[in-house]
């Protein structure tokens, strides 16, 4: 009778040891997603700005470029030229058929890099179109449908009927050669190229350190542009 507690203690100790070891094994198995015994797995995603640029002009190509549509739109910056070869011409045609008084566009143009060390970008033109009565006419709705403009999901529900977005994509080129011949914009515009950085994993070197060393690789073809006033967007040039 006196030795039963001893056996009970052994049994309890065995159970505790088993539970402890089992816990370690289970923890190690999920370490790929959270934490192991000696290191931690972090899942983190972040938008990283690769470059910011000031827009000096909006224009179209003065001469044909290889493998680029002739109706491409160029956003000319102080550092680079951002040639929109998909969606840009549609956007210009669309707004030229709308009432310019009802159009409002953000002066910060955010584009997204398709990959590190890439000269390609994509994004959306987001703009609002608000008639005084708050109702789009049948003709206006047909225009939006024709050019593939969709309601923007980036706003409050009660405003979504008047916020729209148009998908665009393009290629980064060097700064235009005739920049000094162009008149300055009457209002400042900004271009920003961002990259969706997946920071998940066991990281020894800071991602910030890696990304700070990355350079965009624009095509080396030089381009000139003819300025577009785009009064519908309140884009005008100083006299």
Could you report the per-residue pLDDT of 134-189, keeping only the tens digit for each?
788 888 888 888 887 766 655 444 444 567 788 899 999 999 988 888 887 877 78
Q: Is the pLDDT of residue 235 over 80?
A: no
Query: In the numeric block, which tokens belong to residue 153?
Result: 């999901």
pLDDT digits (tens, 9 = 90+) for 85-112: 998 888 888 888 888 888 877 778 899 9
Domain tally for the chain? 2
Q: What does the DSSP 8-state code read for residue 227?
A: E
Q: Is the domain of 56 the same as that of 22? A: no
pLDDT score at 130:
82
Q: Is the domain of 61 the same as that of 23? A: no
Q: Is the domain of 75 the same as that of 124? A: yes
| Of 81, 53, 51, residue with least CA distance to 216 | 51
3-state secondary structure of 62: coil
**Terminal-to-terminal C-alpha distance of the chain:** 107
Domain around 125: 46-233
Q: Is the pLDDT of residue 61 over 80?
A: yes
Q: Is the domain of 55 the same as that of 35? A: no
3-state secondary structure of 213: coil
Q: Are strands 80-86 and 163-174 parallel, antiparallel or unpaired?
A: antiparallel
Q: Is the domain of 30 the same as that of 130? A: no
Using 50, 70 and 90 to split pLDDT, how confident is the model at 114? confident
Q: Is the domain of 34 the same as that of 50? A: no
- pTM here? 0.67
Q: Is the domain of 103 the same as that of 132? A: yes
pLDDT score at 50:
86
Q: Is 69 inside any structural domain?
A: yes
């Amino acid at each position: 009778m006196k030795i039963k507690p001893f056996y009970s203690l052994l049994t309890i100790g065995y159970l505790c040891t088993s539970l402890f070891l089992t816990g370690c094994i289970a923890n190690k198995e999920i370490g790929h997603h959270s934490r192991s015994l000696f290191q931690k797995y972090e899942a983190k995603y972040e938008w990283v700005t690769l470059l910011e640029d000031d827009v000096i002009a909006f224009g179209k190509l003065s001469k044909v470029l290889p493998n680029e549509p002739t109706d491409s739109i160029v956003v000319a910056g102080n550092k680079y030229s951002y040639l929109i070869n998909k969606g840009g011409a549609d956007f210009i045609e669309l707004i030229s058929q709308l009432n310019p008084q009802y159009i409002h566009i953000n002066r910060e143009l955010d584009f997204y890099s398709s990959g590190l060390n890439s000269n390609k970008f994509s994004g959306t033109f987001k703009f609002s179109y608000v008639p005084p009565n708050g109702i789009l006419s049948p003709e206006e709705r047909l225009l939006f449908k024709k050019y593939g403009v969709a309601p923007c999901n980036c706003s409050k529900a009660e405003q979504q009927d008047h916020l729209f977005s148009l998908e665009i994509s393009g290629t980064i080129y060097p700064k235009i050669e005739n920049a000094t011949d162009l008149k300055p914009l009457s209002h400042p515009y900004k271009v920003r190229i961002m990259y969706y950085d997946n920071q998940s994993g066991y990281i020894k070197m800071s991602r910030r350190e890696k990304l700070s060393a990355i350079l965009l690789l624009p095509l080396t073809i030089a381009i000139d542009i003819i300025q577009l006033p785009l009064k519908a967007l309140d884009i005008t040039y100083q006299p």
